[in-house]
Chains A and B, each alone.
Chain A
Amino acid sequence: MGKSAVAADKDATSGALAGEEARRRDIQNRWLLATPALVIILFAALGPLLIMLVYSFLQKGLYGGVIWNFSGQGWFDVFLSKDIFDDTISFADAHMLIFWRSIKLSLITTIATLLLGFPTAYFIATRSPKWRGVFLFLVTIPFWTNLLIRTFAIQEVIKNEGLLNIVLLKLGLISSPIQIMFTDTAILLGMAYVYLPLMVLPLYASMERLDFRLVEAGYDLYATRLQVLRRIIIPLVKPGIIAGSILVFVPSLGAYVTPRILGGGKKMMLGNLIELQFGQGRNWPLGAALSITLLVIVMVALLFYVRNASKSGVKSHG
């Protein structure tokens, strides 16, 4: 018995070595498989990005487009504004306000979807395999409907003559309709609704892998529900929390449709500001510079997340 166990062990070791080689070959092959996608990314993502970068340093054309002369005006306009009467330079307050609103609303959206998505994902992950499939399907259903239609649907609910206000009025809880449309709250509501599945899915993925015996072990060792949540569940599903936060925060920052419809153009976010420059504003260099700025904000946020992720990954691996 002892001998055969040792032999089995040796087999396992040599098997592992062979497996290692095969895996290396596999990875090489996968790079080949990825080549078409890489080519598309190169031309369809990096190419336009380079064009944006170049445009941001050119002179704006009178009716849109660019004039091929170097100019810092685009970048100047992002952050500063010159008074048209006395030429004094000051911060571009309107832009700063929009930057701030974008970051603030994206952060709140991320936190709100995390607070809503965490118990949802936990609930799904603790169901039987059959029910998990059903609930996951329900979570993905909103993806099947066009974003515009979903956003208009929210508008129908929250507008002054909408469902929510009618019900509240009928119940006598309010005496006049609450103005939700065209406020930050409306944008927030829309974004949280739209991006919630993007939070639930990665959270679920990491909770599904969570060994619930660890949760039992926690209870067994005198941890209360809250302590088990804080010291065992959250640390172990951190990769899911980080992935979900990135998936919600990044598109929130560049959101266009939701603030356009629910914010009604009064409450602009970065996406709307950029669109404005390429459209009515006829200021392509400014639009390009704003786009690059948005990209930089996203990159900084990502770097912050990734650093956090690798820190927590050291211990939890294995």
Chain B
Amino acid sequence: MAKAARSKTTDSAPSARDQHDFALHSLQESHEKALRYDASTEQMLDFYEQMLLIRRFEERAGQLYGLGLIGGFCHLYIGQEAVAVGLQSALKEGLDSVITGYRDHGHMLAYGIDPKVIMAELTGRQAGISKGKGGSMHMFSTEHRFYGGHGIVGAQVALGGGLALAHQYREDGGLCLAYFGDGAANQGQVYETFNMASLWKLPIVFVIENNQYAMGTAVSRSSAETEFYRRGTAFRIPGMDVNGMDVLEVRQAAEIAFAHVRGGNGPVLMELGTYRYRGHSMSDPAKYRTREEVQDMREHRDPIEGLKKTLLERGKSEDELKDIDKRIRATVSEAADFAESSPEPDPRELYTDILVESY
């Protein structure tokens, strides 16, 4: 059974003895004392809107792919929305930096970057955020200190270490949030970076988005230690095991982790248990798991439905939430129209941006 589905009290949870063996759990203990972030209704509506935007945007991207308007590889974030929204909402905007792998649309949207320029990048247009030269996997926004968007699995972890080094070097008080998946967690450079980050006390939060499958390989078939939050143990990096399907739990965990890192205590490793509803990429039929597994997740653990429930409990009406959905659908439609109708890059762009200077 997928780990994200596991509640803290079921049989599949690590035994008490296992927990005892894992020494670097002080942050986890703090987290378990207060699991959910005490958000105002306004903040919750904000999270809801952001998650919904990612969901609708990705659904539309899937459609545009089917129509042949998006080419190449396209990795959708549907199901994992709470991770990017919960973590990034806790960052200091304009100071902290973020880097991730190729499943990057959600992280950009969580920054409030205009969906139009993201969608136009997916369709390979001049107005795209990388002028159409990067594509789905290679998008950046230095303005927001979002450093990509990297297509080589695990590369962003070492690069993130460098971004953290730059924060430390400039003494600007910022931190780097470096996302990677359960698949990338088996790359050697991840551990090279853990070692240096801990040795040099770099201000970095390593985030493993464990969506249970590295492409088509379930974590249990690829990983000797599937409790990824423990993978920093050998480097003295404290770990946190976080429910990535609840945006308020994610946000609360982020508060604890970020405070630790900002305090000059070196890196934290967060494992976010999550789930992607779609295949690894658009061309993946996802036959390695049952329909029932996906359906169970959608019905019982969906991050958007979960927050909707909380909002209704807080007295928000169905109609109010429907209005948000309507507004978002309009935004996404506008982005899709823009991405379809805006021109392809000028042929001269082929030769620009190779080097910064002329020699």
A, B bound: no
Contact surface of B with A, Cβ cutoff 8 Å: none
Contact surface of A with B, Cβ cutoff 8 Å: none
